[in-house]
Structure 1
Amino acid sequence: MGLNIVSDNKNELESHLIDVRRNLHAEPELSNQEIETSKKIKKWLENAGISVLDVPLQTGIIGEVKGQSDGPVVAIRADIDALPINEEAVSSFQSTIPGVMHACGHDFHTAVIIGAAYLLKNRQDRLRGTVRIIFQPAEETGHGAKSIINSGGLNAVEAIFGLHNDPLSEVGVLGVKEGVLTAGVDRFEINIKGKGSHAARPHEGIDPIVIASEIISRLQAVISRETKPSETAVISVTQIRGGNTWNVIPETVYLEGTVRTFKEDIRETIRKKIERVIKGITETYGAKGELIWHAGPPSVNNDPEWTNFASHIAKTNGYKVVEVEPTSGGEDFSFYQQLIRGAFVNIGVSGEYGLHHPKYTLNEEAILPAAYYFADLAEQALNKIYAENFAKKSS
């Protein structure tokens, strides 16, 4: 499957992009395992005459459409990994990989950006610079963006744009927001070591289950009693593991969970407070406690100028533009924004179920308009930067 030339026919292009999305949906791959996915993307790009950069990536692909050689560089990005979810939505292109599914719509993102790449290839002669086209692995682990950055994929890029589908919004709706859009996402593990004993003689041991229950209760007070009500933050303990029979108090208990915050100072403060809670409670009982902290992506923080620009281009492409509320979900697009300015938008896809649901679906009519939008966004961003740079040289 693939185009030998970039087609000007909208029906042909839409049909091809739907085929791309369905092909990826039927053969999903988990984070950092997107080997076949990467091969497919490379083939689709090269069949359309789009250059693929030789960069040190295990998975993921970076393409490039070069226009004016001395012009600026902008980037558009899609993520390509799937989730460890068994698909329940029945279709002719249902996942053929047991326990793996594109339940977050990254197959949609990939088809959209491939479509934008085709359209930009058609406009190559008029581009005022270069468009870097990033197909990023491992977004779901929170660190795939770092592999793109480490590969040099962001070198010389002056602005970057990304998308996520929104199944709870209708096709034709585009959501934007200046500033903080997603939460900073961190994962924690807590190891509690007490002293095992017979369940009938608890005084002879140090019960890590009782300690764990106190820690869990006290962690909720970090949010409800130690964090300003105006500051949005969440601590969720999502796993408890300890003990293996009814009449023995175990020696250890393991806890796991996540913290979601919107400000870096609050993020660091909560980590320190969790450490304090663990230390205080375990020492009170004469036990030992260990916190293992896995820092994930920070908040997506949309640049006001580029957000307004992205909103304007959306309106000229016929989208109904709405301002969205921040979400406590995470997105490693934020790592790019720590280095360069950019904007991240939500595209309505009229789904019946939310993201990460085993029956997640979307309306494929959203693909082609989004491809045109991202092609226009990249082209007009080049024009904007080129004009600004020219003005600086002339002044």
Structure 2
Amino acid sequence: MDKITLQATLEGYFTWFHRHPELGLAEHKTTARIRELLLGAGVEILDTPLKTGLIAQIRGRPGGPVTALRADIDALPIAEATGLDYASEHPGCMHACGHDFHLTALLGAALLLREEAETLAGTVKLLFQPAEEGAGGAQAVLDTGFLDDVEEIYGLHVMATLAPGVIALSPGATYATVGRFRILVKGRGGHAAEPHHSKDPIVAAARIINQAQTIISRGTSPFDPAVLSITRVLAGSTWNVIPPEALLEGTFRAFSPEKLTHIAESLGKICRGLEESDGIAIDYTWRIVTYSTNNDPVLTEWVAETAKKLDLSVVPYPPTMGGEDFALYQQRIPGVFLNIGVGSPQELHNPGFIANPAPLATAAELLAALGKGSVARLAQNPPSLGSG
């Protein structure tokens, strides 16, 4: 398939997926559409226990090495405000993180690899992963056991601030370890005119918010990046009643589990201190959502060389506090997570985010080249690349 035809085909797929976003673990129509397109192209789909998402494969030489290409498929609970003529048809839900671009690019790679199946030195598995946005999709895929034979894995993500078609990647950790926390402040409600008869959870919550900001600014090294953001504050139901409870939720992020644990424990100390000083019960819980990505240095160099052979510009990727559950694959399988520019007017997770579809064919060609090149290289010299 020539590039012009491929681009036109993929743009048609892309606009459909953008119009029909679905949240994590509810991507039923998305999965059905992916399945329909793959089967129509003669691509084999594996029979996995996944309820949404799927794994397909393109088999070349029997007994050859196995490589995986991954794309995520879920959307976000955000009301779209792009003004696109193919905007989301599902109120309060949109592809604000480019997963529609990712899965479309992987569909394009499937079309290209299917045409070249007879020349593949092994098998390329195509992973359309559900629930990347914090709902455990990567772990669910790993639990199926269908990646146990995979020797390398590659994934791609859009980058809003980069010019369309430019590739950005760096070795090592580029996405952060992500933690999530919940703080329930349990006071005693009462009349707003008589606060002395209450234990005001809102005042305690405000103190937690203020003190939490010192954990990063005064409790961690400025040379070791970290962030703590309180993103949800919920309390009260009317103007003249002190509520019995206040809820805080948020995230902390760092580039190592140890640093994240230090931040989490520091927030716990603040909560315990306020329990003692204010006589208010505080229920504080936290967990790690995903770990830092870890791009194999040698494979990263090979990906950059592969991209340059396709006449693509390659630039270093600056580390981000964004999280990616692709990291869970990399804990078991050597691989690289790379980025492609889409030149959006707004950043990711913004109602105005727009993934420019212009580089879809470029992304598909790169993914196909990585799949084909990886099995060829592994077939020639299995021990030479990948550090595990």
TM beyond 0.5: yes
Among candidates 318, 323, 332, match of residue 325 of structure 2:
332
Q: Please name the residue that 2:14 is paired with.
A: 21
Among candidates 83, 100, 107, match of residue 114 of structure 1:
107
> 1:250, CA displacement in angstroms?
2.7
Q: Please name the residue that 1:74 is paired with.
A: 67
Q: Please name the residue that 1:297 is paired with.
A: 290
Structure 1: tracts of 5 or more residues without a match: 1-7
SS of the equivalent of 2:359 reads: helix
> 1:314, CA displacement in angstroms?
0.8
Among candidates 145, 150, 165, match of residue 157 of structure 1:
150
Q: Please name the residue that 2:300 is paired with.
A: 307
The alignment status of 1:86 with 2:79, answered yes or no, reads yes
Q: Deviations over 1:40-59 (max 9, x none)?
A: 11111111111000000000
Q: Please name the residue that 1:187 is paired with.
A: 180
> 1:279, CA displacement in angstroms?
0.8
> 1:16, CA displacement in angstroms?
1.2
Q: Deviations over 1:20-54 (max 9, x none)?
A: 11111122211111111111111111111110000
SS of the equivalent of 1:154 reads: coil
1:388 maps to a residue whose letter is N
Among candidates 269, 277, 284, match of residue 262 of structure 2:
269
Q: Please name the residue that 2:46 is paired with.
A: 53
> 1:200, CA displacement in angstroms?
4.0
Distance 1:314 1:391, change over 3 A: closer
Q: Please name the residue that 1:4 is paired with.
A: none
1:9 maps to a residue whose letter is D
1:167 maps to a residue whose letter is A
Q: Please name the residue that 1:10 is paired with.
A: 3
Contact 1:242 1:254 in 2 (8 A): yes
Among candidates 120, 130, 137, match of residue 137 of structure 1:
130
SS of the equivalent of 1:87 reads: coil
Q: Distance in 2 between matches of 1:245 and 1:356?
A: 31
Q: Deviations over 1:231-279 (max 9, x none)?
A: 1111111222223344433322211111111111101111111111111
RMSD between aligned residues: 1.8
SS of the equivalent of 1:372 reads: helix
SS of the equivalent of 1:365 reads: coil
> 1:391, CA displacement in angstroms?
8.4
Q: Please name the residue that 1:5 is paired with.
A: none
Q: Distance in 2 between matches of 1:196 and 1:95?
A: 42
Number of equivalences: 385
Contact 1:142 1:297 in 2 (8 A): no
Q: Distance in 2 between matches of 1:382 and 1:251?
A: 60
1:80 maps to a residue whose letter is I
Among candidates 151, 166, 170, match of residue 163 of structure 2:
170
Q: Deviations over 1:332-366 (max 9, x none)?
A: 11111111111001101222222222232233220
Contact 1:75 1:133 in 2 (8 A): yes
Among candidates 370, 389, 392, match of residue 382 of structure 2:
389
> 1:166, CA displacement in angstroms?
1.4
Among candidates 271, 277, 280, match of residue 278 of structure 1:
271
The alignment status of 1:371 with 2:369, answered yes or no, reads no
Distance 1:308 1:15, change over 3 A: same
TM-score, length-scaled by structure 1: 0.93
Range 204-213 or range 54-63, more displaced: 204-213
Distance 1:213 1:87, change over 3 A: closer
SS of the equivalent of 2:36 reads: helix
> 1:212, CA displacement in angstroms?
1.5
SS of the equivalent of 2:148 reads: coil
Q: Please name the residue that 1:229 is paired with.
A: 222
The alignment status of 1:244 with 2:264, answered yes or no, reads no
SS of the equivalent of 1:302 reads: coil
Distance 1:100 1:230, change over 3 A: same
Q: Distance in 1 between matches of 2:116 and 2:10?
A: 18
> 1:182, CA displacement in angstroms?
0.9
Distance 1:208 1:86, change over 3 A: closer
